[in-house]
């Protein structure tokens, strides 16, 4: 990748061009137009072959927004398939900014996780030990990458309902039995002793936000977080939920922006503890 001269390619993020994301051999190419992306794909393929690597055709896909050129991107004469969503580093990425599909994926992962511990959990009589087992295996699977979520009421409700279903399985109480025993969700939580998924995800996001703001090495995570695309005109209608929208509730009574509060770690921890 260092051999590629892509400093002038990609999307302009406050004066710098973001052209790619890399983690080991998982690479995302970012471009403003089809012609530039076609060139980047070909150049990446060339440098990969030079060191004995080949691009995985079955996993290489193209995502575009509704305004992009629909002409195909080709690799050695073969058109790369278009997709509306893609799983990158365990997180579903989509162009419509809809978190529901990702919550459904996380729910399936959580059910797989509880399936692995269910037998052991049902044999454990100690409530705290059983809760710790759930919190250390199922909860991380359910809330994986929640630091990056732009959550709203719908996605939060999906998360809450998913945890309640998992909680019933942990307690060996189905919905019919819960109704017959007249148990409310709060009663079930007292019985299980597990951590709340909504708060788990919210706390993870607050921690991550603090780390991003306090960084001083000009990483892309920080630059993109505060990026305002001035050269792009916003579309009509209500704007999509942004990642930082939920963090506005952490602003101080003095009107200080949440990012300013987060610069001071102690003040940020105090603000997070209040909410």
> Do residues 122 and 116 lie in contact, with contact meaning Cβ atoms separated by under 8 Å?
no
pTM summary value: 0.89
pLDDT, residue 208, reads 96
Cβ burial of 251 (10 Å; 0-12, 13-18, 19+) is middle
CB atoms closer than 10 angstroms to residue 109: 16
pLDDT (tens, 9 = 90+) of the chain, 275 residues, equals 677 889 999 999 988 999 999 998 899 999 999 999 999 999 999 999 999 999 988 899 999 988 888 899 999 889 999 999 999 999 999 988 889 999 999 999 999 999 999 999 999 989 999 999 999 999 999 999 999 999 999 999 999 999 999 999 999 999 999 999 999 999 999 999 999 999 999 999 999 999 999 999 989 999 999 888 877 777 777 778 889 999 988 876 667 889 998 999 998 988 888 76
């Amino acid at each position: 990748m260092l051999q590629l001269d892509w400093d002038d390619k990609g999307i302009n993020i406050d004066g710098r061009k973001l052209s790619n994301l890399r983690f080991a051999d998982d690479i995302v190419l970012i471009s403003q137009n089809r012609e530039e992306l076609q060139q980047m794909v070909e150049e990446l393929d060339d440098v990969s072959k030079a060191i004995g690597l080949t691009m995985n055709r079955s996993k290489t896909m193209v995502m575009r927004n509704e305004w992009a050129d629909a002409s195909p991107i080709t690799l050695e004469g073969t058109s790369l398939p278009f997709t509306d969503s893609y799983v990158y580093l365990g997180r579903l990425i989509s162009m419509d900014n809809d978190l529901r599909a990702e919550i459904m994926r996380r729910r399936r992962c959580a059910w797989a996780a509880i399936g692995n511990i269910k037998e052991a959990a049902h044999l454990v009589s100690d409530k705290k030990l059983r809760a710790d087992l759930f919190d250390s295996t199922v909860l991380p699977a359910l809330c994986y990458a929640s630091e990056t979520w732009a959550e709203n009421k719908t996605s939060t409700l999906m998360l809450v309902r998913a945890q309640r279903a998992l909680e019933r399985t942990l307690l060996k109480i189905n919905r019919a039995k819960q109704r017959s025993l007249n148990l409310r969700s709060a009663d079930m939580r007292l019985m299980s002793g597990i951590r709340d998924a909504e708060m788990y995800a919210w706390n993870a996001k607050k921690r991550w936000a603090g780390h991003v703001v306090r960084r001083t090495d000009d990483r892309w995570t920080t630059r993109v977080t505060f990026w305002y695309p001035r050269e792009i005109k916003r579309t009509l209608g209500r704007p999509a939920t942004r990642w930082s929208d939920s963090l506005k509730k952490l602003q101080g009574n003095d009107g200080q922006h949440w990012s300013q509060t987060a610069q001071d770690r102690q003040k940020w921890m105090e603000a997070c503890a209040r909410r």
